[in-house]
A and B are shown apart, each in its own frame.
Chain A
Amino acid sequence: MMRIRASIATIAMVALVAAGIATRGAAQDKTLTIGVLGPLSGGAASYGVELVRGAEMKADEINKAGGLKVGNDVYHIKLVSYDHKALAADAATAANKLVFQDKVKYIIGNAVGATCNAVQTVTEPEKVLFSFVCWGTNNLGPDKPHSFRAMLSQWEVAEPFYRWVKEKHPAVKRVALISPNDTSGKDTNTAVVKALKGLAFEVAADEYYERGTKDFYPILTKMLATQPDMLDVAAAPAGEAGLILKQARELGFKGAKGWTAGTNPFTIIGVAGKDAAEGVWSPTNINVKSDFVSPTVRRFGEEYEKRYKEVPGVIAVANYAAFDVFTKAMQDARSLDTDKVLAALTQKPFDTVWGKLVLGGKETYGIDRQFLYPVVISEIRDGKVVDIAQVLPAALKK
């Protein structure tokens, strides 16, 4: 009798193990392909690189844990990324490739405003869920229900930032702005000008340059002739922002410096040099080593630095969080169907690397598709990024 019981137990165990192996085998057969777009070369390459790395970290985390369990299926996540060089035409081509050739239903990551508009001409009609860090008012709206912004934009950041400047640095009265001559740049300057006027600052200059410009002497000569108290390199990417600050210093500018859309001050220090970067305030960046950020962001920063030998900026954290939110919504929906996942996404806040992440923005965009989290203002001091204040976007206060 004992022998029969032992045999039954052995058979049962073998069956269970076999079933387990079979399940694991089946899981390995299922692959969920997720697209990532971004400028991976050229002046804005730092954005794309961070997007891909943020996505890679989350995807690897999920894969190492055995895959993404959605309903009864387990998926291995595969990333496909394309470089669009910050060009709208290339972005449209890349989006077409992702959707029609690679058959992706999720694109988690893209940067530079005009390229987002181009991608949306493909993603919205195909009901592909698309998350990005592009800055442009027209990237979100009731006509684009499948699009999400994973990072705070100028419309959330400019007002609380300049309110802080007014309170803490009352000597700043005249502000000169410079941004790239594209959707991101124009939208950023528009938002900053609106915030400045609302707070009774004077706009000394509101200028644009072509992406890829290296010599800013000509435009800075014109801007600095207006004698601003503060120079805001608004939507300039790190490399170009660093050059602007370096050359402004050479031309004798000694006023306050801001970088409303600044995403990685560590890069700006390298390009501008310690002296020219000294004192730059940035409300968009996140310093992953700061006491102002949550322990989860600090941990993410440590992992990222260990893996890529660089300190991550806000874009990497934002895309990691977006990846987290989307995959959690797939699990909640128990489906990969984008209609069901969309419904799950908009039902409740998600616990992410940021902490509790809220979707909002209806007042600005007419639809709640903007990820909201607190704004941390940092300052570059002696070649280091130091967080000095935390303020809340108006939408998050509500």
Chain B
Amino acid sequence: MSIELLVQALLNGFGLAMVYVLVALGLTLIFSILEIINFAHGEFYMLGGYITYYAYALFGLNYFATLGLAILTVGLAGVAAERLIFHDLRGRALNAFIVSLGLLWVMQAGAQLAFGVLDKPVPSAFSGVVRVFGLVMSVERVVVTLSAIVLIAALYLFLRWSRPGRAMRAVAQDPDAAALQGVNIDAASALGFGVGCALAGGAGGLLAPLFAVSPAMGALPVVKAFIIIIVGGMGSLPGAVLGGLLLGGVEGLGALFMGSAAVNILGFLMVIVVLLVRPRGLLSGA
């Protein structure tokens, strides 16, 4: 087996890992602030996909403008979900778990009714391939990966330097202390949920032209997102990036050596090993 093939396999895995990291970051952000595991997170990803389909594929809006629209709209949908559904469930993990499962089914069934059950293709926004030293990747995937990296960096800067971002971190660390310091917990929670969903919407918008959109499209990325945050460490941004890269690498090489059907097992094996060796994840608290 040539080195070229191995590197191509790794590149394949890493390529889309950054998009799944976006989904994972949204999930972990919501958990950090509201202590809610949102099982309907994949459905917000799906919403981003459909917004891209309608705005970009049907109405011909510019691709990046569409992406912005998907992020904004899904973010607002997230704020609405927090206000209307999850607000009173903060810290009540079991209730929130059941409600989020219900929301998953409602959103999926709603999408089936509203958009139909069949896959809807979204035309490629960028054509051509990039070839470097015999390695191949479509321009579209390069743009998607770079866009995901930009969004991750933007999230980092927002959380690190902006006032609302710092308020969200404060709530995540200690809600009572944050409240005593004058942080509006309700606003920070709603914003946290909105930003988390916006990231999922952005990921859906990024992957829509690559994979087409369908009501059930949220299932796979949310499973990958769970693997990423368990491996990387719940609540850790660098951990999510590391978890994404590890999952991408394992899946890329796994498909080469073991076949595609075995790849899904590898991610879960990684989770088992990490939970046994370092139960809080590789970079928890980072």
Please list the residues of chain A having a beta carbon within 8 angstroms of any beta carbon in chain B. Answer: 40-43, 45-46, 48-49, 181, 207-210, 212-219, 221-222, 225, 238-239, 242-243, 250-252, 267, 270-271, 273
Given A212-B219, A215-B211, A252-B136 in contact, is the A43-B119 Cβ separation under 8 Å?
yes
Q: Known pairs A41-B215, A45-B117, A222-B256; list 16 more (Cβ under 8 Å).
A: A45-B119, A46-B119, A208-B261, A215-B211, A218-B251, A218-B254, A218-B255, A219-B259, A221-B5, A221-B256, A238-B119, A239-B214, A242-B121, A267-B118, A271-B119, A273-B123
> Contact string, B1-26, partner A, CB cutoff 8 A, digits 1/0?
00001001100110110000000000
Chain A contacts for B264, CB-based, 8 A: 210
Q: Which B45-82 residues have C-beta < 8 A from chain A?
A: none
Task: Pick the residue among B8, B117, B255, B260 that contacts A49 (CB under 8 A).
Answer: B117
Task: Pick the residue among B5, B211, B216 that contacts A243 (CB under 8 A).
Answer: B211
Taking chain B's interface residues, is the majority helix, strand, or loop, or is none over half, making it mixed?
helix
B115 to chain A, nearest CB (A): 11
The answer to whether B9 touches A214 (Cβ under 8 A) is no
The answer to whether B212 touches A217 (Cβ under 8 A) is no
Chain A contacts for B252, CB-based, 8 A: 218
Task: Pick the residue among A41, A49, A215 that contacts B16 (CB under 8 A).
Answer: A215
Q: Does chain A have a CB within 8 A of B178?
A: no
Task: Give complex CA distance A58, B1 in Å.
Answer: 55
The answer to whether B255 touches A41 (Cβ under 8 A) is no
Chain A contacts for B212, CB-based, 8 A: 239, 242-243, 271
Number of B residues with CB within 8 Å of any CB on chain A: 41
Chain B contacts for A42, CB-based, 8 A: 214, 216
> Contact string, B176-192, partner A, CB cutoff 8 A, digits 1/0?
00000000000000000
A-B CB contacts (within 8 Å), total count: 102
Q: Which B126-148 residues have C-beta < 8 A from chain A?
A: 129, 136-138, 140-141
The answer to whether B119 touches A239 (Cβ under 8 A) is yes
Q: Does chain A have a CB within 8 A of B263?
A: yes
Q: Does chain A have a CB within 8 A of B210?
A: yes
Chain B contacts for A45, CB-based, 8 A: 117-119, 214
The answer to whether A214 touches B138 (Cβ under 8 A) is no
Closest to A216 in B: B260
Task: Give complex CA distance A77, B211 in Å.
Answer: 39
Q: Does chain A have a CB within 8 A of B220?
A: yes
Chain A contacts for B210, CB-based, 8 A: 214-215
The answer to whether A273 touches B124 (Cβ under 8 A) is yes
What are 25 A-B residue pairs whose CB atoms fall within 8 Å in the complex?
A: A41-B215, A43-B214, A43-B216, A45-B119, A181-B260, A207-B259, A208-B259, A210-B263, A215-B210, A218-B255, A218-B263, A219-B259, A221-B9, A222-B9, A222-B255, A239-B118, A239-B214, A242-B121, A242-B212, A243-B212, A250-B138, A250-B141, A271-B121, A273-B121, A273-B123
